[in-house]
Amino acid sequence: MSLFNPWVLLGILMAVLGAFSGGYFKGSHDENVRQQVEIATLNAKARETEQNMANVANTYAETLRKSQNAARTKETKLRADVASGALRLSIPTQSPVCSTSTATSPAGDNSGEARTELSGQISEALIAIASEGDSAIRKLNQCIQTYETLKGTK
């Protein structure tokens, strides 16, 4: 049996190709398993990070809700005081107002500054505008705090 026999050469070639393809497929399978384990590990880490971020966001949302409720309570008291007359809103005027019914000076204010009392509708509108602005500012500040906290959570 000669080494140059076509059947021997074919046998050697088949053995080499078989070893190569077996190693190639085993290596591919091992790499696939390694990638699946790595993906599972990264997914678990991502879920944990996501859960932490959700907890932070929920905490800040609850804080915002509490501050909004406290502000609403103060706003309701302010509106009630203005409506009952216990609190009167006034603004300074350039020159003294001739009408004695609208020119007022707050109690204890001896600055001599001429002031005009605002009507109920204007007071109510002013309170509404200020309340809406304060609410927006609280929401923005809470959003900024949440963002900064979550940015550092990575």
What residues make up the domain containing 123? 44-153
| Count of domains for the chain | 1
On whether residue 28 sits in a domain, the answer given is no
On whether residue 26 sits in a domain, the answer given is no
- Burial class (CB within 10 angstroms; exposed 0-12, middle 13-18, buried 19+) of 112: exposed
On whether residue 20 sits in a domain, the answer given is no
Of the candidates 127, 114, 116, 115, the one whose C-alpha atom is nearest the C-alpha of residue 81 is 127
pLDDT of residue 12: 87
Q: pLDDT 10s per residue in the chain (154 long)?
A: 676 788 888 888 899 999 888 888 998 999 999 999 999 999 999 999 999 989 989 999 999 999 999 999 999 999 898 888 888 888 888 765 555 544 444 454 556 678 888 888 888 889 999 999 999 999 999 999 989 988 887 6
On whether residue 68 sits in a domain, the answer given is yes
On whether residue 25 sits in a domain, the answer given is no
Q: At what angle do helices 6-84 and 120-153 cross, to 10 degrees?
A: 150
The arrangement of strands across the sheet holding 115-117 comes to 90-92, 115-117, 103-104
On whether residue 126 sits in a domain, the answer given is yes
On whether residue 54 sits in a domain, the answer given is yes
Q: Please tell me the pTM assigned to this model.
A: 0.59
